[in-house]
A and B are shown apart, each in its own frame.
Chain A
Amino acid sequence: MTAIILKDVDKSWGSFQALNGINFQCEEGKLLVLLGPSGCGKSTTLRLIAGLETPTSGTIEIGGKDVSYLPPVKRNISMVFQNYALFPHLSVAENILFGLKARKVALPERKKRLENAADLLGLSDFLDRKPAQLSGGQRQRVALGRSIVAQVSVCLMDEPLSNLDAKLRQEMRQEIRSLQQRLKMTMVYVTHDQVEAMTIADKIILMKDGLIEQHGTPEALYNRPETAFTGNFIGNPPMNILTPDTLLMEAFSAILPDRIRPESHQIGVRPENIRISENRGIKAQIETIEYLGADTLILCRFGQQNITLTVKGKTRLLVGDHLRLDWKQDHIHLFDTSNGKRLGNLEKDELS
């Protein structure tokens, strides 16, 4: 069943168009990530679903009901905010139960839900503490607790992990994912971190300038980016977007079709798909080497262009070394320069 549907949603403030014709659906019990650089409209989209903003036009449905202009409380949602939005003068227990008290849920029921949530989140020993006496991760858990006790179908998360340090972020990420799956929550999760998105999402919506760039599974976004922007945004290090100049065309004449022009086409190749070759591919010179432990990033230069590749472990190559870079035909993503749209994966039948 479909839990959330957005139909032709626009949002503007004065002459500023924040969202432009947003259409998507989110299945029940799935985790949908809204991903994109800052200012792309992902938070605005979330706030529209929450009811903290109203759409300029279009409709929003939650659980089969049109909620476009309903206040948040009538939408059957809960929300976790970026800075947790915990009430500093209330204890952990009071914070978690704030909404239930406001909605006049009976005391025994409140107690039961609190115990349940505290158990689930490992907060049982902290119920009397104030938020200031908690670590970042614990505060995050309290915010989650507030969401869990509400027992609503849809949970919205606005960059919930951005205030945590890297290690904790990874832990909480896994925790949120397993919680979401265990409680079968429908979750919409906003982030600008593509690693976070890739690891927890069932589906990702990548946004840019108030438009949806691509909506699909993490695998689809990685393997078949529909735009050069998606290719560049998903994956770390980002995809190389190259101009097919004469150097490149000569080096790959066997696998690049003749119709490709430097003015009208771009070629995307992922760093991890580039191999160092003895006798094939394009000649390049190493500019910098970054050792990351498990692998090494090598930034090379050929003609006027830069290209990055990753190799496993540590390399014996040195800055200034000359080498040849090669890649397989089906690792080439071809984009149209004029609109950034994908032109196909250069599978054999497309070549003819």
Chain B
Amino acid sequence: MRPKFYQRYWNHVNGWLLVLPAVFMISLFTHFPIGSSLFHSLFSTGTATRPAEFIGLGNYIYLLEDEIFWKVLFNNLVYSFCTVPLSIGMALGMALLINLNIKGRSLIRMSFFTPTVLPMIAVANIWLFFYTPEYGLFDQVFAFFGGDSHNWLGNPDTTLYCLILMVIWKESGFFMIFYLAAMQQLSPELKEAGVVEGAGSWYYFRRVTFPLLMPTTLFITINAVVNSFKLVDHLVIMTKGGPDNASSLLLYYIYENAFSFWDANYAATLTAVLVFILAVITIIQFTIVEKRIHYQ
């Protein structure tokens, strides 16, 4: 008995020792900040003269009345609902195109993938030029066809959609790579069987390719949704959320509260809401959607 117990005991100790560095790092930089944010969201932000005090759900009540919060949340939903399906659709289309045996395939693949390699800051600077009134790329093209000059980013009606267009351009190449990898896993024999059975391209895509790519689609969707909430680098370069918060997103609003208005505890409250939203979306995707997916 004794050696058995001894062995098992050391197995556990060794196991824990091996994961300890990872546990430590994740706790320090993920779990602790989440807990800390939740904790701080229950306090008012202290100043030099007025120390922080416990106000319960006061911050959350304030948040419900905060018009900018609702505006930013609405912006973010529009932003997600546009960027996620469109970038995924484009990624799928590009992957299908590249997967064909056509000449110059590697050139097309490279050009589709290039936006992914660029840092978001660089992309934002490039597109800032595209959108510049008078001598930006878009205005020059419009001017060529006799159009007027537009202040694309300065107009509250267009600014958010300008960002959406840019993000789709940047993200779809990245998602395309996942689709391409998944497509190359599909057996060419299946395609041949489809051809012999008389399935046209569209019928085959609808009944075979797309269903078999569903695991990839789910994976990409989750990534795209999470990205649409957490990637705001371009706002810093292009619009700073303006004009009148017309292009501001939730995370950027959190950043503003924490580092421009120095209201750290209200930022913590917003963070708690953001984490909650992302958790709900992810759970929905993994539970409801996953049931309808065939894994090989």
Contact = CB atoms under 8 A, between A and B. Distances in A.
Contacts of A82: 189
Contacts, number: 63
A72 B204 CA distance: 15
Interface in B188-242: 189-190, 192-200, 203, 207-208, 211-212
A72 B193 CA distance: 10
Given A87-B208, A88-B296, A89-B294, A72 B203 contact: no
Interface residues of B, number: 19
B198 A81 contact: no
Interface in A251-271: none
A146 B197 contact: yes
Given A52-B195, A81-B192, A82-B189, A89 B212 contact: yes
A103 B198 CA distance: 6
Contacts of B211: 89
A283 to B, nearest CB: 54
- Give the interface size bracket for A toward B: 20 to 34
A62 interface: no
B187 interface: yes
Contacts of B196: 50-52, 72-73, 77-79, 99
B292 to A, nearest CB: 10
Contacts of B212: 87-89
Given A87-B208, A102-B203, A73 B193 contact: no
Interface in A35-85: 50-52, 71-73, 77-79, 81-83, 85
Contacts of A87: 190, 193, 207-208, 212
A51 B196 CA distance: 8
Contacts of B194: 98, 102
Given A89-B211, A89-B294, A83 B187 contact: yes
Contacts of A197: none
Contacts of B189: 81-83, 85
Given A73-B198, A88-B212, A102-B200, A79 B296 contact: no
Given A82-B189, A83-B189, A88 B294 contact: yes
Contacts of B294: 88-89, 130
B198 A102 contact: yes
B203 A79 contact: no
Interface string B129-154: 00000000000000000000000000
Contacts of B200: 102
A60 B208 CA distance: 30
A85 B193 contact: yes
A12 to B, nearest CB: 18
The residue among A77, A79, A85, A130 with the most chain B CB atoms within 10 A of its own CB is A85
B198 A52 contact: no
Contacts of B199: 98-99, 102
Contact of B192 (A52, A103, A130): A52
A45 to B, nearest CB: 16
Interface in B82-120: none
B275 to A, nearest CB: 34
A150 interface: yes
Nearest to B188: A85
Contacts of B195: 52, 71-73
User: Which among B192, B193, B199 has the highest number of chain A CB atoms within 10 Å?
Assistant: B193
Contact of B197 (A88, A98, A130): A98
Interface string B167-195: 00000000000000000000101101111
**Residue among A79, A88, A90 with most chain B CB within 10 A:** A88
A98 B193 CA distance: 10
Contacts of A51: 196
A177 B182 CA distance: 38
B185 to A, nearest CB: 12
B192 to A, nearest CB: 6
Contact of A102 (B187, B192, B197): B197
Given A85-B187, A87-B208, A98-B207, A150 B193 contact: no
Interface-centre pick from B189, B200, B296 (highest chain A CB count, 10 A): B189
Contacts of A77: 196
Given A85-B187, A87-B208, A89-B294, A99 B197 contact: yes
Interface in A150-168: 150
Contacts of B190: 85, 87
Interface of B: 187, 189-190, 192-200, 203, 207-208, 211-212, 294, 296
Q: What 3 A-B pairs are tightest by C-beta distance, nearest first?
A: A99-B197, A89-B294, A85-B193
7 contacts: A52-B192, A72-B196, A72-B198, A79-B193, A87-B208, A89-B212, A98-B207
Given A52-B192, A85-B189, A130-B294, 13 more contacts: A50-B196, A52-B196, A79-B196, A81-B189, A85-B187, A87-B193, A89-B212, A98-B197, A98-B207, A99-B199, A102-B197, A146-B193, A150-B197
